[in-house]
Structure 1
Amino acid sequence: MYKTDAWERAYKPLSLPSEQSHYAAFSPDDATILTASEGDRGGVALWDAASGSLRARWEGGLDVAWWYPSFQDTSMWSGVLGYMPHCFGGQSSSIMFSPDNQYLLTPAISGAGNVGEDSACLWDAAMGKLIREFVGHSNVIRSVGFSLDGRRIATGSGDTTVIIWDVATGARVATCRGHNDWVRSVAFSPNGEHVTSGGDDRRVIMWNAEGGELLQSFEGHTHWVSSVAFTPGGDVVISSDPNGMRLWDVESGACLLVLSSATWGSTVRLSPDGSGVLVDDDKRVVQLWAPLNEDAQTTTSRSWLPRRTWPMYYIEDDWIFSLTPTRRTRLCWVPADWQGIAGFLGQDVLFGKQGTRLNFSSLSSYLESLRTDST
């Protein structure tokens, strides 16, 4: 583990089984590190993030990452949601912390307690003790999810169903039937009233969390759906497959936007005011995509796209521009072989191919003092 301020090693590497595929995630409060190792001799472990000491370990056969994302996929999810999800995937995972950090929810781990192979298990995240087993699926569980209030969980299974459970009692609240292949991803809406799911049948479905009724079906994916989520406002569903990400309007079921993971890292940015998406094409010209109000024919703000810190930097015709709510400013010319902007934070801009970082604080302050608009 490394400290990100100075990139110094905080403590020695965690001790994990050899010759395994390993995955890691932080708890929502960043106090605990979850590691999962696949295979017959794999398992799950919880570590203290401050010291690196082992808190709990469950050993046994485990299939963790049915859809473990690439760096680009993770960047897309964190960019659209506005935060880094605390699980293996966008919002969907086979292992997940409860929002209050007290519990860990997993599919059955062979060798970890006397539990059924198709059940889900709720563990005490501090002690590693089994709190409750959820029994009802007829095939292995592929995905689990907590509601934000921690009162409900949802499980998606190879038996094509989604089951919603009461955390306190372990009782089944609803069984959702509508998929015709494995369910790989599940997630609750922010208010807990709805659940969305995606699977190998290329469908994304929204359910009533209390009765399990099918409320909306989103059609358009060309591959199995690996991860699903609701945006913080609850009015848009996000889903991803190996080819990219789609954003759906909850009310109409219409696809609002398709994003490609192949181009996200270098060519797609959220607009600075949160109203749309900036797309940089092969000519390095920035275009703005945004939903339109068909009646007014004007761009409308979308609460589900997160806000960004000003200024916003972009490249057009080999010049770096700074964009603020009231002004577009030409800053400086850049060589073409710098391959565009790789990222930015405040006044720092990082360029992809050369790894060059430029800071524009002095220049921006000077230009602001002139109080002149530029083209």
Structure 2
Amino acid sequence: PGPGGPGGPGPFWGRPPAAKPGVIPLRPLGVGELLDGAVSTARAHWRIVLGVTIAVAVVTQICDLLAQHYLLPDPTEIDPNASPSEALNQAVDSMQSSLLALVPSVVITLIGTLFTTAVLTVVISRSVLGRSVSLSEAWHEARPRIPQLLGLTVLLPVMYAAILGVGILPGVLVGTLAGGGGGAAALAVLGGLAASVVVVWLWVRLTLASPALMLERQGILPSLRRSAKLVRGAWWRTFGILLLTLVLTFMVSMIIAVPFSLIASAVDGESLDGLFSSTTPDFGWPFMIITGIGSVIAAAITYPISAGVTVLLYVDQRIRREALDLELARAAGLTPDGNGRPDQGPSGY
């Protein structure tokens, strides 16, 4: 046929545009569409999203401030004139002190992440179909999966920490048994770098386990296997999207945190002096409260975006591998099933 004829390359030749019942078109998504879908979900359901994230962030910050002020020991001082063996021992002590200081924050953050992930996953999954959802409905849907999500949320950081510990352990043992030295420090650094590569590889491979657990109602191990299956063959693409999301959310967090830190330093004169001294600054309550407010605002903006990208990336991978777009279109009522009414949809929708 000639141009413009039946089947010919006329002005409207090509695939028809994909249906878009909700925040994303029902077809394989680009990076921009993933980010736009996450932002659109936060805008469409801003009451639920901001309510959950701000409430969790406030509680998390209060618990974190109390833990830092009353539970954590003073940081280990590093002597710049120490010998190599003493420097290695000081570095190990400093690392142990830093890890100990991270424990309360990590535990508090994990608990906060647990609730926000559970609720936001349900909200985002409904947004894909253009369906409204209330906070009580989202919580009612997410609550039965909380124990499994808690196990997954605890298992992954513990697994990553164990891998890093195994990588650093040979250098620490050599330094302890052989009296330290540059070789032991180099071995610890190389082991830590190798372990970090393994952790990053696993982090990307298992990043879709949480939405798989919530939306497909699977157990912890089946969710991990499900994530590995969905990411297989798309590791670099998944890594690039996650890295871009991390960079964007980090930049937004810094844009918000820096002014609050400057204001807090100006209000708390002792903290301002400590920032420019060689000793560890002694942050007072005014500094910690003002910076905590900045952290709450940053979390309310950035966490819905990162959670939205993860869930939409899970949906995108299922569309690419399993034609989930057809099931979603049918569930949204875009594909007639005889009576024109939507189906129940795939699991989790």
Tell me the TM-score normalized by structure 1. Answer: 0.25
Q: Find the structure with the greater CA-based Rg.
A: 2
**Greater share of residues in strand:** 1
TM-score (norm: length of structure 2) = 0.27
Of structures 1 and 2, the one with the larger relative CO (CA 8 A, separation 6+) is: 2
